[in-house]
């Protein structure tokens, strides 16, 4: 494996300076945070450069962190370089009240449905997406179910006080 995480990190730092933060390596995969208006620039840079060649989008999803005020939603990209067999992950954070993120569909055709799924469950508004409509849930749904404010069981139930077995209490 010729391409090291250290090298990728240096190349990114060269290009973007210190706006990319939180570099860490867990379970062998490097991850970092990027500012939300740079998500496409970072992806395009990783795609184009001849020594990086991250040309496969493995996964795109979102995570809701209600405690991070002002940047509650994180969109997570997993990229893969097939030639050197290196994976990396990066996150962009956005405000839940204005969850606008540029779409990656111009770089990866596969981002189309992945972004629709992310929109469907988290309400991330992918700016420039060709067809941003719900995909797995019904069209009439007016909320985004994977957000943490929707607990799985009805918390107002009073007939089943069962703290011992993990039910009841907060999510």
Partner 1 sequence: MSEHQHITLPDGSIEKQTSTLNLGPTHPATHGVFQNVMEMDGERIVSTVPTVGYIHRAFEKIAERRPYYQITPLTDRLNYCSAPINNMGWHMTVEKLLGIQTPKRVDYLRVIIMELARITDHLICNSVIGVDSGAFTGFLYVMQYRELVYEIYEEICGSRLTTNIGRVGGFERNFTPVAFQKIEKFLAEYPDVLKEFENLFTRNRIFMERTQGVGAISAERAMNYGFTGPNLRAAGVDYDVRVANPYSSYEDFEFTIPVGTTGDTYDRFLVRNAEMWQSLSIIRQAMEKVKALPEDVYHADVPAYYLPDKDDVYTKMEALIYHFKIVMGETDILPGELYHPVEGANGELGFYLISDGGRSPYRLHFRRPCFIYYQAYPELVQGAMLSDAIICMSSLNLIAGELDA
**63 binds partner 1 per the rule CB under 8 A:** yes
Under 8 Å between Cβ of 103 and 129: yes
**165 binds partner 1 per the rule CB under 8 A:** yes
Nearer to partner 1, 37 or 150 (CB): 150
Q: State the helix-helix crossing angle for 39-48 and 5-16, rounded to 10 degrees.
A: 120
SS (H, E, C) 122-160: HCCEEECCCCCCCCCCCCCCCCCCCCCCCCCCCCCCCCC
- Near partner 1 by CB under 8 A: residue from 9, 41, 76, 95: 76
Nearer to partner 1, 13 or 109 (CB): 109
The two tokens of residue 55 are 């040309």
**141 binds partner 1 per the rule CB under 8 A:** no
* Cβ-Cβ contacts under 8 Å for 54 (sequence gap 6 or more): 43, 46, 47, 79, 80, 81, 86, 88
Least distance to partner 1 from the beta carbon of 152, Å? 4
- Interface residues with partner 1 (CB under 8 A)? 26-27, 29, 31, 55-59, 61, 63-64, 76, 78, 82, 85, 87, 89, 108-110, 112-114, 117, 121, 134-138, 145-146, 150, 152-153, 165-166, 171
């Amino acid at each position: 494996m010729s391409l090291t995480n250290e090298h990728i990190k240096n190349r990114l730092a060269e290009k973007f300076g210190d706006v990319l933060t939180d570099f860490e390596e867990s379970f062998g995969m490097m991850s970092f945070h990027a500012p939300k208006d740079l998500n496409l620039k970072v992806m395009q840079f990783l795609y184009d450069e001849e020594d990086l060649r991250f040309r496969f989008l493995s996964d795109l999803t979102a995570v809701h962190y209600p405690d991070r005020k002002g940047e509650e939603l994180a969109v997570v990209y997993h990229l893969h370089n097939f030639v050197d067999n290196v994976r990396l992950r990066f996150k962009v954070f956005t405000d839940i009240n204005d969850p606008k993120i540029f779409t990656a569909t111009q770089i990866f055709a596969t981002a189309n449905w992945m972004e629709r799924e992310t929109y469907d469950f988290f309400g991330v508004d992918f700016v420039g997406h060709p067809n941003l409509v719900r995909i797995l849930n019904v069209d009439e749904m007016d909320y985004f179910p994977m957000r943490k404010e929707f607990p799985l069981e009805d918390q107002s139930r009073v007939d089943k006080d069962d703290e011992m077995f993990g039910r009841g209490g907060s999510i």
